Amino acid sequence: MASSLLCSSGYGVSHPMSRCFSILDILENPEHDSLFQGFTLRRIEERGIVCDANSTENDVFIVLSGELRVYLSYEGREFTVFTLEPEAVFTTHSKMTVVAKTHSEILVTSLRAFTQAISTVPGLAVPIIASMGQGLANTIGIIEGLVFRDVRHRLIQFLLDLAGERGRRIQTGVLVTVDCNTEDIATLIGSSRQSTSLILNELIKAGYLLRVNRKQFVIRDPDALRALTGAGDLPAPPKWHERPQSAGAPDTGPPRENRPLRKAGGRQRVMP
């Protein structure tokens, strides 16, 4: 049953939760087919809702593919707690809303059936414990941020966390790829899109960040950026020796987007 569900979904091998455990090993083992007879394959389109805070269903689901966002909503504001990726296990009675960020596929069953499966294969409990533990830690972080930190502090901490997790050191700083738009970042830090965009632009204008493209930034000096979390007004940045034309090539002139326009053949173009 489990293996046939995986085949019918077109599900490919994904990164396991750890080197020592993979829920795929359980799902693909023919010996466990009888355990998954009560599981149903469900496909969710992008932005489709799996469950919300008022859901009365008492189900458990396993993410096969895609990515799901888990968030809390309060007074019209959304606070992303974490995201669920392939092999994650979660419940529909968490009092949180779960929505698909991309086209996703999940296996759904009742809590009772899942409990019976755990009694036979205890390893199934590992991912759900990990998900709930991550959710608790992130929720505490959200509360601390909202109570003790302003929006700029939360945005800077978000960028520094990304730099620590997936940043790449280059000549001009640390290159960070942000796999979400400004609105998504705002929901992650508990802010509005307008405030988040304004602060990002301030950091870019002040020289702490360089925008490479819509998804990538260069943090010129992580320590200087971190120092802003305890500052009042935005101070002048340290004097860097060169301003890069791109993430990897130095350029002694002003940033390209700030250079004057020169007309050529009836068209405006940026001066070299």
Under the banding of pLDDT at 50, 70 and 90, the label for residue 264 is very low
**CA separation for the pair 148, 207 (Å, rounded):** 26
**pTM strictly above 0.75:** no
CA-based nearest residue to 84, from 19, 96, 74, 155: 96
Q: Per-residue pLDDT for 4 more than 90?
A: no
Measured between alpha carbons, how far is 73 from 69 in angstroms, rounded to an integer?
Answer: 12
Q: 24 phi and psi, to 5 degrees?
A: -65, -35
Model confidence at 17: pLDDT above 80 = no
pLDDT at 231 (0 to 100): 56
List, for residues 183-232, the tens digit of each pLDDT value. 888 877 878 888 899 999 999 999 999 999 988 999 999 999 988 876 55
Q: How would you class 109 by CB atoms within 10 Å of its CB: exposed for 0-12, middle for 13-18, buried for 19 or more?
A: buried
* Domains with residue ranges and CATH for the chain: 2-148 (2.60.120.10), 151-249 (1.10.10.10)
